[in-house]
Amino acid sequence: MKNYEKELLPLLGEVEKPARYTGGEFNTPDMNKPDAFNFCICFPDVYEIGMSNLGISILYQILNSMPDMVCERCFAPWTDMERKLRENNLPLFSVERKIALKDFDAVGFSVQYEMLYSNILYMLDLAKIPFYAKDRGEEYPILIAGGPCTVNPEPFKKFFDIVEVGEGEYMLPELLEEIKRGKERGLSKTEILENCKKIEGIYVPSLHVKGEKVKKAMVRDFENAPDATRPLVPNIEIVHDRACLELYLGCGSGCRFCQAGFYNRGIRERSVSKLLKTATETIENTGFDEMSLSSLSTGDYSHIKELVEKLKIVADEKRIKLSLPSLRLSSFDGALAMNSRKSSLTFAPEAGSERLRDVINKNVTEEEILSALKEAFADGYTSVKLYFMLGLPTETDDDIRGIGVLAEKIRRTYFEIAHNKKLNVSVSCSVFIPKPVTPFQWCAQISMEEMERKQQLLRDTFKGMKGVSLSWHDATTSAVEGIFARGDERLNEVIEEAYLSGAKFDGWSECFNFDVWINALKKKGYTIGDFNKEFKENDELPWDVIDPCVDKSYLWREHEKGMRAERTRNCREGCNLCGIQKTTKCTICGGRK
């Protein structure tokens, strides 16, 4: 395996943020394992974003703790480094040992969000690896896709030999061991893939038989799942520059638009004692000065008060800050009082009217919002960020005007409490994108024209309202995200076409070029409407190849309830028998009604 360090060193002085490519971070594991299997985990975005991903950090630590395994990293190089690589005819390389991607035994891509799809091809192109699995011979590494987007792998499946469906903590080590064994026995790639296909959660597109379902892999015992208390400490500032403590997997709130909430069921909590041990070790091993509690709905953790009280003692002792980022309104009381960072409060009512909040099962009334905020304001908060979505199923213009009404009521509440002082309110509106494995997976995404009309209505609603800043997501980006989210295998060629026409870093507004995507669709004979369409109850959905362990019939029942604006209780109040109980036991209910 050639090391490209000598060739790369002179280039580092000519690019922005060379530390993106140098490696050598604190806690870098020993990679001197002569007979090890060499795996490279790729994140198709820049270093600062990839290094903030907890899942990658955990897998990196697990794999490097195995005696016969080396896991290196590779991030999408920014365009200045791309130019240097192309000018010098150098291949894309790993951060740690500067080895070309194509020289690894296996290469995994973590596909975290839809707007990264063009960057998969960007990295393969720079790595001089053919895009399609069918065009790669025995001399190329086995390419694996993992991460949340494998909930619908159809749009990118042809680029990969293997797609990992579900949680990777156990699946990836088992998969790599299987590939290693196969290589040692001299098996062909196809023979190795046949063996890998038997592992839970493994989808091999080239060997897939129509009608087969790939059951999502799950961490069944989160309490004893491999811990990762020695994360790399980056040399440059990254997006989430702090230690992270994951309290539990899953979420029981059942917000009907939320893919993370449905796809990551069931709820599997860790004990307070385990979390305290993990927190203490992580702080000691890294020297981070801040720790965040990271879970889908952190405040809903069963023992949040006890945990935060005990963590505060650890935090004071070690002189670190605690931050609680993702609070839901229902969990305000427990967590709010103990949040050490007071000033700005963030929460997401998602919809402006109570009716629409019932449609999406965001179980919170206006009264609850205002009274929770009243407490928060009394506790010292002086600004508030509100998140909403536009284009939700059944939304009317009155629902949109309701966003303005709610913002105004919140301002008035503060005004009364803070003795005539004005509250800073920031309102951010994203576009609703129906996602697979949610009760809204059958819904059409609204057209760009309709979205622009709704955004104009929103601007009109807020006109003249002082102290409120309003922002909204671009309708074109959301349209492309929507086609990837629920699209099918026809998109593989569209992605290739768009990449070859210049698409890359689509998640970056300065790089995203909508025309490239429209032209790529057109060239292949499609329109946005072919993918952002409505499905009927019994239609076969592109992602039906995956068994998410949540019953499709349950999702449909939730869909119907949503259309009737009927609520469903939080799992923490009792199991709703979503189907997960057949696969694993939720901490909350043990799978009982």
Residues binding ligand SF4 (CB under 6 A): 251-253, 255, 258, 260-261, 265-267, 296-297, 328, 571, 575-578, 580-581, 586, 588-589, 591
Pick the closer one to ligand SF4 by CB: 29 or 325. 325
Least distance CB 578 / ligand SF4 (angstroms):
3
DSSP single-letter state for residue 543: G
Question: Nearest approach, Cβ of 582 to ligand SF4 (angstroms)?
Answer: 8
CB of 568 to ligand SF4, least distance (A): 9
Residue closer to ligand SF4 by CB (options 265, 504) is: 265
* Min CB(264)–ligand SF4 separation in Å: 8
3 state DSSP class of 196: helix
| DSSP-assigned letters across all residues of 71-109 | EEEEEPPPHHHHHHHHHTT---B-TTT-BBGGGSSEEEE
State in angstroms the smallest separation of the CB of 154 from ligand SF4.
Answer: 23
- Which residue of the chain is nearest ligand SF4 when measured via CB? 261
Distance from C-alpha of 15 to C-alpha of 402, rounded to nearest angstrom: 48
CB of 288 to ligand SF4, least distance (A): 25
Joined together, the tokens standing for residue 37 give 């299997």
Structure tokens at 116: 């990264």
Nearer to ligand SF4, 119 or 581 (CB): 581
21 near 95, Cβ under 8 Å?
yes
Phi, psi of 487 (to 5 degrees): -80, 180
The dihedrals phi and psi of 18, each to the nearest 5 degrees, come to -60, -25
Nearer to ligand SF4, 96 or 547 (CB): 547
Interhelix angle for 514-523 vs 475-486, to 10°?
40
Amino acid found at 22: T
For ligand SF4, the closer of residues 282 and 326 by Cβ is: 326
Q: Which residue in the block uniquely carries the two structure tokens 């068994």?
A: 547
Q: Which is nearer to ligand SF4, 189 or 265 (CB)?
A: 265
Q: Which of 337, 314, 389, 318 is nearest to 359 (CA)?
A: 389
Nearer to ligand SF4, 278 or 581 (CB): 581
Kindly state the smallest distance separating residue 221's Cβ from ligand SF4, in Å.
Answer: 15
> What's the CA gap between 173 and 225, in Å, rounded?
13
- Cα 166 to Cα 221: distance, rounded to the nearest angstrom: 15
Quote the least distance from Cβ 141 to ligand SF4, whole Å. Answer: 35
**Identity of the residue, 130 or 148, whose beta carbon is nearer to ligand SF4 in the bound complex:** 148
- Helices 514-523/491-500 angle, 10° precision: 130
Q: Which two tokens stand for residue 180?
A: 């290693």
